[in-house]
Structure 1
Amino acid sequence: MELFLVGIGTGNPEHLTLQAIRALKAADLIIVPRKAGKDDLSELRLDICAEVAPDVAIREFDLPVRDLAEPDYAKRVNDWHDAIAQVWMTAIDGAGRVALLVWGDPSLYDSTLRIAARLSPAPLMTVIPGITSIQALTAAHAIPLNDINEPVVITTGRQLRDAGWPPSARSVVVMLDGECSFQHLPPDEIEIWWAAFAGMPQQVILSGALGDIGPEIIETRARARAAHGWVMDIYLMRRSEKS
Protein backbone atom coordinates (compact mmCIF):
# COMPACT_ATOMS: atom_id res chain seq x y z
CA MET A 1 0.00 0.00 0.00
CA GLU A 2 1.05 3.58 -0.71
CA LEU A 3 -0.27 6.24 1.64
CA PHE A 4 -0.29 9.90 0.66
CA LEU A 5 -0.78 12.36 3.52
CA VAL A 6 -1.94 15.46 1.69
CA GLY A 7 -1.78 18.84 3.41
CA ILE A 8 -4.84 20.86 2.36
CA GLY A 9 -4.26 24.17 4.12
CA THR A 10 -7.29 25.44 5.98
CA GLY A 11 -9.86 23.79 3.72
CA ASN A 12 -9.83 26.30 0.87
CA PRO A 13 -9.38 24.38 -2.42
CA GLU A 14 -7.25 27.27 -3.69
CA HIS A 15 -4.66 26.42 -1.02
CA LEU A 16 -3.86 23.05 -2.60
CA THR A 17 -0.44 22.74 -4.18
CA LEU A 18 -0.02 21.23 -7.64
CA GLN A 19 1.68 18.26 -5.95
CA ALA A 20 -1.38 17.76 -3.72
CA ILE A 21 -3.77 17.88 -6.68
CA ARG A 22 -1.70 15.35 -8.61
CA ALA A 23 -1.58 12.98 -5.64
CA LEU A 24 -5.34 13.12 -5.13
CA LYS A 25 -6.01 12.50 -8.83
CA ALA A 26 -3.61 9.53 -8.87
CA ALA A 27 -5.10 7.82 -5.78
CA ASP A 28 -7.20 4.66 -5.98
CA LEU A 29 -9.03 5.65 -2.81
CA ILE A 30 -9.43 8.77 -0.67
CA ILE A 31 -10.45 8.13 2.94
CA VAL A 32 -12.37 10.86 4.74
CA PRO A 33 -12.89 10.92 8.51
CA ARG A 34 -16.16 11.97 10.13
CA LYS A 35 -16.00 13.56 13.57
CA ALA A 36 -19.07 13.83 15.78
CA GLY A 37 -20.44 17.37 15.84
CA LYS A 38 -18.07 18.57 13.11
CA ASP A 39 -19.84 17.63 9.88
CA ASP A 40 -18.51 20.77 8.20
CA LEU A 41 -14.98 19.35 8.35
CA SER A 42 -15.83 16.20 6.43
CA GLU A 43 -17.98 18.20 4.00
CA LEU A 44 -15.06 20.50 3.23
CA ARG A 45 -12.87 17.50 2.48
CA LEU A 46 -15.58 16.02 0.25
CA ASP A 47 -15.97 19.34 -1.57
CA ILE A 48 -12.23 19.43 -2.26
CA CYS A 49 -12.32 15.88 -3.60
CA ALA A 50 -15.31 16.65 -5.81
CA GLU A 51 -13.51 19.65 -7.27
CA VAL A 52 -10.05 18.25 -7.91
CA ALA A 53 -10.47 14.44 -8.03
CA PRO A 54 -14.09 13.70 -8.95
CA ASP A 55 -13.36 10.26 -10.40
CA VAL A 56 -11.52 8.83 -7.38
CA ALA A 57 -13.39 6.52 -4.99
CA ILE A 58 -14.09 7.93 -1.54
CA ARG A 59 -14.66 6.00 1.66
CA GLU A 60 -15.81 7.79 4.83
CA PHE A 61 -15.22 6.49 8.34
CA ASP A 62 -16.13 7.56 11.86
CA LEU A 63 -13.31 8.74 14.10
CA PRO A 64 -13.13 7.04 17.51
CA VAL A 65 -13.91 9.22 20.52
CA ARG A 66 -11.12 9.96 22.97
CA ASP A 67 -11.61 8.45 26.44
CA LEU A 68 -11.74 11.57 28.59
CA ALA A 69 -12.19 9.46 31.72
CA GLU A 70 -8.59 8.23 31.45
CA PRO A 71 -6.59 10.44 33.86
CA ASP A 72 -3.20 9.78 32.23
CA TYR A 73 -3.09 12.24 29.31
CA ALA A 74 -0.30 10.45 27.42
CA LYS A 75 -2.07 7.09 27.71
CA ARG A 76 -5.36 8.66 26.70
CA VAL A 77 -3.82 10.04 23.51
CA ASN A 78 -1.86 6.86 22.70
CA ASP A 79 -4.95 4.66 23.12
CA TRP A 80 -6.91 7.04 20.91
CA HIS A 81 -4.25 6.94 18.19
CA ASP A 82 -4.21 3.13 18.31
CA ALA A 83 -7.98 3.12 17.78
CA ILE A 84 -7.74 5.56 14.88
CA ALA A 85 -5.07 3.42 13.21
CA GLN A 86 -7.42 0.44 13.39
CA VAL A 87 -10.29 2.29 11.70
CA TRP A 88 -7.89 3.55 9.04
CA MET A 89 -6.95 -0.03 8.21
CA THR A 90 -10.61 -1.02 8.02
CA ALA A 91 -11.37 1.91 5.72
CA ILE A 92 -8.36 1.22 3.48
CA ASP A 93 -9.36 -2.46 3.11
CA GLY A 94 -6.52 -3.50 0.80
CA ALA A 95 -6.56 -0.48 -1.53
CA GLY A 96 -3.30 0.26 -3.36
CA ARG A 97 -2.77 4.03 -3.51
CA VAL A 98 -4.60 5.76 -0.67
CA ALA A 99 -4.83 9.48 0.10
CA LEU A 100 -5.82 11.16 3.34
CA LEU A 101 -6.48 14.90 3.44
CA VAL A 102 -4.83 16.62 6.41
CA TRP A 103 -5.71 20.08 7.69
CA GLY A 104 -2.80 22.49 7.37
CA ASP A 105 0.46 20.60 7.16
CA PRO A 106 1.07 17.04 8.45
CA SER A 107 4.26 18.20 10.19
CA LEU A 108 2.98 20.87 12.59
CA TYR A 109 1.05 19.97 15.76
CA ASP A 110 -0.62 17.14 13.91
CA SER A 111 -0.81 13.47 14.92
CA THR A 112 -1.34 12.02 11.44
CA LEU A 113 2.26 10.82 11.09
CA ARG A 114 2.20 9.20 14.53
CA ILE A 115 -1.01 7.37 13.63
CA ALA A 116 0.33 6.30 10.24
CA ALA A 117 3.38 4.79 11.98
CA ARG A 118 1.00 2.39 13.76
CA LEU A 119 -0.31 0.84 10.53
CA SER A 120 0.58 -2.78 9.88
CA PRO A 121 1.89 -3.66 7.42
CA ALA A 122 3.70 -0.33 7.18
CA PRO A 123 2.77 1.55 4.00
CA LEU A 124 5.08 3.33 1.61
CA MET A 125 4.36 6.86 2.79
CA THR A 126 4.57 10.21 1.03
CA VAL A 127 3.95 13.45 2.92
CA ILE A 128 2.78 16.41 0.86
CA PRO A 129 3.12 19.70 2.74
CA GLY A 130 0.31 22.20 2.78
CA ILE A 131 -0.23 25.81 3.78
CA THR A 132 -0.12 25.99 7.56
CA SER A 133 -2.52 27.97 9.71
CA ILE A 134 0.48 30.14 10.65
CA GLN A 135 0.93 31.16 7.02
CA ALA A 136 -2.80 31.79 6.69
CA LEU A 137 -2.74 33.92 9.85
CA THR A 138 0.13 36.15 8.80
CA ALA A 139 -1.27 36.48 5.27
CA ALA A 140 -4.68 37.49 6.61
CA HIS A 141 -3.10 40.28 8.66
CA ALA A 142 -0.44 41.10 6.03
CA ILE A 143 2.34 40.90 8.60
CA PRO A 144 5.67 39.04 8.83
CA LEU A 145 5.99 36.23 11.32
CA ASN A 146 8.99 37.73 13.06
CA ASP A 147 10.94 40.95 13.39
CA ILE A 148 14.43 41.35 11.92
CA ASN A 149 16.86 38.89 13.50
CA GLU A 150 14.22 37.81 16.04
CA PRO A 151 13.28 34.17 16.84
CA VAL A 152 9.70 32.90 17.03
CA VAL A 153 8.30 30.36 19.48
CA ILE A 154 5.38 28.15 18.39
CA THR A 155 3.48 26.72 21.33
CA THR A 156 0.07 25.55 22.51
CA GLY A 157 -2.61 27.11 24.66
CA ARG A 158 -1.96 24.51 27.34
CA GLN A 159 1.72 25.46 27.53
CA LEU A 160 0.98 29.18 27.56
CA ARG A 161 -1.53 28.73 30.38
CA ASP A 162 0.69 26.51 32.50
CA ALA A 163 4.13 28.02 31.86
CA GLY A 164 3.41 31.61 30.84
CA TRP A 165 5.29 33.57 28.21
CA PRO A 166 8.19 31.50 26.80
CA PRO A 167 11.53 32.76 28.12
CA SER A 168 13.63 34.88 25.73
CA ALA A 169 10.84 34.96 23.11
CA ARG A 170 9.54 38.21 21.70
CA SER A 171 7.10 36.71 19.19
CA VAL A 172 4.88 33.75 20.10
CA VAL A 173 2.44 31.81 17.92
CA VAL A 174 -0.23 29.94 19.89
CA MET A 175 -2.12 27.00 18.40
CA LEU A 176 -4.62 24.47 19.78
CA ASP A 177 -6.00 26.94 22.29
CA GLY A 178 -9.62 26.31 23.18
CA GLU A 179 -9.55 28.56 26.25
CA CYS A 180 -8.08 31.85 25.01
CA SER A 181 -5.08 31.29 27.25
CA PHE A 182 -3.76 34.78 26.61
CA GLN A 183 -6.09 35.73 29.48
CA HIS A 184 -3.43 34.38 31.86
CA LEU A 185 -0.81 36.89 30.70
CA PRO A 186 -0.22 40.44 31.95
CA PRO A 187 -1.49 42.31 28.88
CA ASP A 188 0.85 45.31 29.08
CA GLU A 189 3.07 45.91 26.03
CA ILE A 190 1.69 42.92 24.09
CA GLU A 191 0.20 43.13 20.60
CA ILE A 192 -1.97 40.30 19.29
CA TRP A 193 -3.05 39.22 15.80
CA TRP A 194 -5.87 36.67 15.94
CA ALA A 195 -7.74 34.74 13.26
CA ALA A 196 -10.52 32.17 13.25
CA PHE A 197 -11.06 30.04 10.12
CA ALA A 198 -7.94 31.65 8.63
CA GLY A 199 -7.96 31.53 4.85
CA MET A 200 -11.55 30.24 4.65
CA PRO A 201 -14.64 32.13 3.43
CA GLN A 202 -15.85 32.61 7.03
CA GLN A 203 -12.51 34.04 8.16
CA VAL A 204 -12.62 36.48 11.09
CA ILE A 205 -9.57 38.51 12.13
CA LEU A 206 -8.88 40.94 14.98
CA SER A 207 -5.72 42.70 16.09
CA GLY A 208 -4.53 45.32 18.53
CA ALA A 209 -3.19 45.78 22.02
CA LEU A 210 -3.97 42.66 24.04
CA GLY A 211 -5.49 44.64 26.91
CA ASP A 212 -7.88 46.39 24.52
CA ILE A 213 -8.81 43.64 22.06
CA GLY A 214 -8.61 40.52 24.26
CA PRO A 215 -12.23 40.62 25.49
CA GLU A 216 -13.51 41.16 21.94
CA ILE A 217 -11.52 38.14 20.72
CA ILE A 218 -13.09 35.98 23.44
CA GLU A 219 -16.61 37.12 22.51
CA THR A 220 -16.02 36.78 18.76
CA ARG A 221 -14.58 33.29 19.16
CA ALA A 222 -17.60 32.19 21.21
CA ARG A 223 -20.00 33.51 18.56
CA ALA A 224 -18.09 31.78 15.76
CA ARG A 225 -18.15 28.49 17.62
CA ALA A 226 -21.88 28.80 18.31
CA ALA A 227 -22.60 29.63 14.66
CA HIS A 228 -20.58 26.77 13.14
CA GLY A 229 -20.48 24.17 15.91
CA TRP A 230 -16.66 24.29 15.87
CA VAL A 231 -13.90 26.83 15.49
CA MET A 232 -10.25 26.72 14.43
CA ASP A 233 -8.30 29.74 15.55
CA ILE A 234 -4.69 30.80 15.96
CA TYR A 235 -2.88 33.91 17.09
CA LEU A 236 0.47 35.65 17.11
CA MET A 237 1.57 37.81 20.02
CA ARG A 238 4.54 40.15 20.11
CA ARG A 239 5.98 42.02 23.06
CA SER A 240 7.31 45.52 22.63
CA GLU A 241 11.07 45.92 22.65
CA LYS A 242 10.99 47.67 26.04
CA SER A 243 8.90 44.96 27.79
Structure 2
Amino acid sequence: MLVGLGLGPGNPELLTLRAVRLLKEADTIFVPGRIAADLVAPYGDAVMLDFPMTDNEEKIRSCLEANAEKIAPVAQNGLAVFGILGDPNFFSTFSRLCGIIAERYPSIEYRTEPGISSITAFASAAHVPLTGGFVVSDGAEPSALIRLKARHPHEIIAGLKAEGYREFVLVERMFFPDMKVYRDAEIPKKSDYMSVLYARR
Protein backbone atom coordinates (compact mmCIF):
# COMPACT_ATOMS: atom_id res chain seq x y z
CA MET A 1 0.00 0.00 0.00
CA LEU A 2 1.17 3.52 -0.86
CA VAL A 3 -0.29 6.47 1.02
CA GLY A 4 0.18 10.05 -0.14
CA LEU A 5 0.15 11.93 3.16
CA GLY A 6 -0.45 15.65 3.60
CA LEU A 7 2.01 17.17 6.10
CA GLY A 8 0.41 20.61 6.25
CA PRO A 9 2.07 24.00 5.61
CA GLY A 10 5.34 23.27 7.42
CA ASN A 11 4.68 23.74 11.12
CA PRO A 12 5.07 20.43 13.01
CA GLU A 13 2.11 21.34 15.25
CA LEU A 14 -0.14 21.39 12.18
CA LEU A 15 0.33 17.70 11.39
CA THR A 16 -2.95 15.85 11.76
CA LEU A 17 -3.37 13.05 14.29
CA ARG A 18 -3.87 10.67 11.37
CA ALA A 19 -0.61 11.84 9.80
CA VAL A 20 1.30 11.12 13.01
CA ARG A 21 -0.24 7.65 13.27
CA LEU A 22 0.58 6.75 9.66
CA LEU A 23 4.14 8.02 9.97
CA LYS A 24 4.63 5.78 13.02
CA GLU A 25 3.07 2.79 11.22
CA ALA A 26 5.01 3.20 7.96
CA ASP A 27 7.58 0.62 6.92
CA THR A 28 9.35 3.39 5.00
CA ILE A 29 8.65 7.13 4.81
CA PHE A 30 9.48 8.89 1.55
CA VAL A 31 9.65 12.68 1.19
CA PRO A 32 10.44 15.13 -1.63
CA GLY A 33 12.89 17.33 0.28
CA ARG A 34 14.52 18.57 3.47
CA ILE A 35 11.55 20.51 4.90
CA ALA A 36 9.33 17.43 4.72
CA ALA A 37 12.14 15.26 6.11
CA ASP A 38 12.45 17.55 9.13
CA LEU A 39 8.69 17.44 9.72
CA VAL A 40 8.58 13.64 9.81
CA ALA A 41 11.89 13.17 11.69
CA PRO A 42 10.27 12.72 15.13
CA TYR A 43 8.39 9.70 13.78
CA GLY A 44 10.98 8.01 11.60
CA ASP A 45 13.92 8.42 9.24
CA ALA A 46 12.84 9.42 5.76
CA VAL A 47 14.17 8.55 2.32
CA MET A 48 14.51 11.78 0.32
CA LEU A 49 13.50 11.52 -3.33
CA ASP A 50 14.56 13.83 -6.13
CA PHE A 51 11.78 15.94 -7.66
CA PRO A 52 13.50 18.61 -9.76
CA MET A 53 11.92 22.03 -10.27
CA THR A 54 11.99 22.13 -14.06
CA ASP A 55 9.73 22.43 -17.09
CA ASN A 56 11.67 19.68 -18.85
CA GLU A 57 9.04 16.94 -19.15
CA GLU A 58 11.61 14.31 -20.10
CA LYS A 59 13.61 14.95 -16.92
CA ILE A 60 10.44 15.04 -14.79
CA ARG A 61 9.28 11.71 -16.22
CA SER A 62 12.71 10.15 -15.69
CA CYS A 63 12.77 11.21 -12.01
CA LEU A 64 9.21 10.01 -11.44
CA GLU A 65 10.12 6.62 -12.89
CA ALA A 66 13.24 6.37 -10.70
CA ASN A 67 11.21 7.32 -7.62
CA ALA A 68 8.52 4.77 -8.48
CA GLU A 69 11.18 2.05 -8.54
CA LYS A 70 12.34 3.03 -5.04
CA ILE A 71 8.81 3.11 -3.60
CA ALA A 72 7.36 0.01 -5.27
CA PRO A 73 9.24 -2.70 -3.31
CA VAL A 74 8.05 -1.21 -0.01
CA ALA A 75 4.47 -0.65 -1.21
CA GLN A 76 4.27 -4.21 -2.54
CA ASN A 77 5.12 -5.78 0.81
CA GLY A 78 4.10 -3.22 3.43
CA LEU A 79 3.17 0.40 4.01
CA ALA A 80 4.98 3.10 2.06
CA VAL A 81 4.09 6.64 3.16
CA PHE A 82 4.95 9.54 0.89
CA GLY A 83 4.84 12.75 2.94
CA ILE A 84 4.06 15.93 1.03
CA LEU A 85 3.88 19.53 2.22
CA GLY A 86 0.33 20.80 2.16
CA ASP A 87 -2.20 18.35 0.75
CA PRO A 88 -1.40 15.54 -1.73
CA ASN A 89 -4.36 16.45 -3.96
CA PHE A 90 -3.58 20.16 -4.33
CA PHE A 91 -1.02 20.85 -7.08
CA SER A 92 1.27 17.98 -6.06
CA THR A 93 3.20 15.43 -8.09
CA PHE A 94 1.68 12.51 -6.19
CA SER A 95 -1.00 11.79 -8.81
CA ARG A 96 1.63 11.64 -11.57
CA LEU A 97 3.77 9.33 -9.46
CA CYS A 98 0.77 7.04 -8.90
CA GLY A 99 0.10 7.01 -12.63
CA ILE A 100 3.56 5.57 -13.26
CA ILE A 101 3.26 3.07 -10.42
CA ALA A 102 -0.11 1.95 -11.81
CA GLU A 103 1.51 1.36 -15.22
CA ARG A 104 4.41 -0.66 -13.86
CA TYR A 105 2.92 -2.23 -10.73
CA PRO A 106 -0.86 -2.48 -11.17
CA SER A 107 -1.23 -4.61 -8.04
CA ILE A 108 -0.10 -1.77 -5.75
CA GLU A 109 -2.99 0.02 -4.06
CA TYR A 110 -2.69 3.72 -3.26
CA ARG A 111 -4.72 6.41 -1.58
CA THR A 112 -4.30 9.89 -0.12
CA GLU A 113 -4.78 11.31 3.36
CA PRO A 114 -5.47 15.05 3.59
CA GLY A 115 -3.29 17.68 5.19
CA ILE A 116 -3.87 21.37 5.86
CA SER A 117 -3.56 22.95 2.43
CA SER A 118 -1.86 26.23 1.58
CA ILE A 119 -5.29 27.72 0.85
CA THR A 120 -6.69 27.25 4.34
CA ALA A 121 -3.29 27.98 5.91
CA PHE A 122 -3.14 31.28 4.00
CA ALA A 123 -6.54 32.34 5.31
CA SER A 124 -5.37 31.76 8.87
CA ALA A 125 -1.92 33.34 8.48
CA ALA A 126 -3.24 36.43 6.70
CA HIS A 127 -6.40 36.79 8.84
CA VAL A 128 -8.49 36.71 5.68
CA PRO A 129 -11.89 35.01 6.02
CA LEU A 130 -12.73 33.24 2.77
CA THR A 131 -16.45 33.76 2.30
CA GLY A 132 -18.46 33.45 -0.87
CA GLY A 133 -16.99 31.89 -3.99
CA PHE A 134 -13.33 32.23 -4.91
CA VAL A 135 -10.95 30.86 -7.54
CA VAL A 136 -7.73 28.95 -6.83
CA SER A 137 -5.24 28.57 -9.67
CA ASP A 138 -1.54 27.99 -10.28
CA GLY A 139 -1.74 30.27 -13.29
CA ALA A 140 -3.59 27.84 -15.55
CA GLU A 141 -7.16 28.47 -16.66
CA PRO A 142 -9.45 26.83 -14.06
CA SER A 143 -11.06 23.66 -15.41
CA ALA A 144 -12.81 22.44 -12.26
CA LEU A 145 -15.23 23.77 -9.68
CA ILE A 146 -16.10 22.72 -6.12
CA ARG A 147 -19.54 23.52 -4.75
CA LEU A 148 -20.17 23.32 -1.00
CA LYS A 149 -23.52 22.54 0.64
CA ALA A 150 -24.78 20.78 -2.50
CA ARG A 151 -28.17 19.72 -1.11
CA HIS A 152 -29.86 19.58 -4.53
CA PRO A 153 -27.07 18.24 -6.76
CA HIS A 154 -29.22 17.51 -9.84
CA GLU A 155 -30.30 21.15 -10.06
CA ILE A 156 -26.71 22.32 -9.67
CA ILE A 157 -25.43 19.80 -12.22
CA ALA A 158 -28.03 20.89 -14.80
CA GLY A 159 -26.72 24.45 -14.60
CA LEU A 160 -23.09 23.35 -14.72
CA LYS A 161 -23.68 21.17 -17.78
CA ALA A 162 -24.94 24.28 -19.57
CA GLU A 163 -21.56 25.87 -18.76
CA GLY A 164 -19.63 22.95 -20.25
CA TYR A 165 -18.94 20.82 -17.17
CA ARG A 166 -19.08 17.08 -17.86
CA GLU A 167 -17.57 15.14 -14.95
CA PHE A 168 -19.19 15.18 -11.50
CA VAL A 169 -18.38 13.68 -8.08
CA LEU A 170 -20.45 14.18 -4.92
CA VAL A 171 -19.08 13.40 -1.45
CA GLU A 172 -21.66 13.29 1.33
CA ARG A 173 -20.69 13.56 5.04
CA MET A 174 -16.99 13.51 4.26
CA PHE A 175 -14.87 11.40 6.65
CA PHE A 176 -17.84 10.61 8.89
CA PRO A 177 -18.53 6.89 9.42
CA ASP A 178 -21.46 7.08 6.97
CA MET A 179 -19.56 8.92 4.22
CA LYS A 180 -20.74 8.25 0.67
CA VAL A 181 -19.08 9.02 -2.66
CA TYR A 182 -21.19 9.25 -5.83
CA ARG A 183 -20.02 9.69 -9.41
CA ASP A 184 -21.96 11.04 -12.38
CA ALA A 185 -25.13 8.94 -12.90
CA GLU A 186 -25.00 7.63 -9.28
CA ILE A 187 -25.51 11.12 -7.81
CA PRO A 188 -28.85 11.38 -5.95
CA LYS A 189 -31.39 14.17 -6.40
CA LYS A 190 -31.04 15.27 -2.78
CA SER A 191 -28.07 15.08 -0.44
CA ASP A 192 -27.02 15.99 3.07
CA TYR A 193 -26.19 19.59 4.04
CA MET A 194 -22.62 18.39 4.52
CA SER A 195 -22.06 17.58 0.85
CA VAL A 196 -19.41 18.71 -1.60
CA LEU A 197 -19.88 18.56 -5.37
CA TYR A 198 -16.90 18.49 -7.73
CA ALA A 199 -17.28 19.32 -11.42
CA ARG A 200 -14.74 19.26 -14.25
CA ARG A 201 -15.01 20.52 -17.82
With normalisation by structure 2, the TM-score equals 0.59
Give the CA RMSD over aligned residues.
Answer: 2.3
Structure 2 CA distance for aligned equivalents of residues 65 and 44 of structure 1: 15
Structure 2 CA distance for aligned equivalents of residues 22 and 153 of structure 1: 33
Give the aligned partner of residue 12 of structure 2.
13
Runs of 4+ in 1 over 4 A off after TM superposition: none
Q: Does the aligned pair in 2 maintain the 1:64–1:83 contact within 8 Å?
A: no
Q: Does the aligned pair in 2 maintain the 1:85–1:116 contact within 8 Å?
A: no
Give the aligned partner of residue 95 of structure 2.
113
Once the two structures are superposed, the pairs formed by residues 1-243 of structure 1 within 5 Å of their partners are: 2-33=1-32, 42-51=33-42, 53-54=43-44, 57-64=45-52, 66=54, 68=56, 76=57, 79-92=58-71, 94-95=73-74, 96-119=78-101, 120-122=104-106, 123-146=108-131, 150-157=132-139, 159=141
Q: Does the aligned pair in 1 maintain the 2:2–2:111 contact within 8 Å?
A: yes
Report the number of matched residues.
136
> What secondary structure, in the 3-state scheme, does the structure 1 residue paired with 2:100 have?
coil
Q: Once the 2 structures are TM-superposed, how far is the Cα of residue 30 of structure 1 from its aligned partner? A: 0.9
> What secondary structure, in the 3-state scheme, does the structure 1 residue paired with 2:136 have?
strand
> What secondary structure, in the 3-state scheme, does the structure 2 residue paired with 1:94 have?
helix
Q: What amino acid is the match of 2:105? A: P
Q: Once the 2 structures are TM-superposed, how far is the Cα of residue 46 of structure 1 from its aligned partner? A: 1.9
Q: Does the aligned pair in 2 maintain the 1:81–1:115 contact within 8 Å?
A: no
Q: Does the aligned pair in 1 maintain the 2:31–2:84 contact within 8 Å?
A: no
> What secondary structure, in the 3-state scheme, does the structure 1 residue paired with 2:90 have?
coil
With normalisation by structure 1, the TM-score equals 0.50
Q: What amino acid is the match of 1:126? A: R
Structure 1 CA distance for aligned equivalents of residues 128 and 82 of structure 2: 31
Q: Once the 2 structures are TM-superposed, how far is the Cα of residue 114 of structure 1 from its aligned partner? A: 2.4
Q: Does the aligned pair in 2 maintain the 1:8–1:102 contact within 8 Å?
A: yes
Q: Does the aligned pair in 2 maintain the 1:85–1:118 contact within 8 Å?
A: yes
Structure 2 CA distance for aligned equivalents of residues 65 and 46 of structure 1: 18
Q: Once the 2 structures are TM-superposed, how far is the Cα of residue 20 of structure 1 from its aligned partner? A: 0.8
Change (3 A) 1:92 1:111: closer
Q: Once the 2 structures are TM-superposed, how far is the Cα of residue 93 of structure 1 from its aligned partner? A: 5.6
Structure 2 CA distance for aligned equivalents of residues 8 and 126 of structure 1: 15
Change (3 A) 1:49 1:12: same
Give 5+ residue unaligned stretches, structure 1. Answer: 34-41, 69-75, 161-243
Give 5+ residue unaligned stretches, structure 2. Answer: 143-201
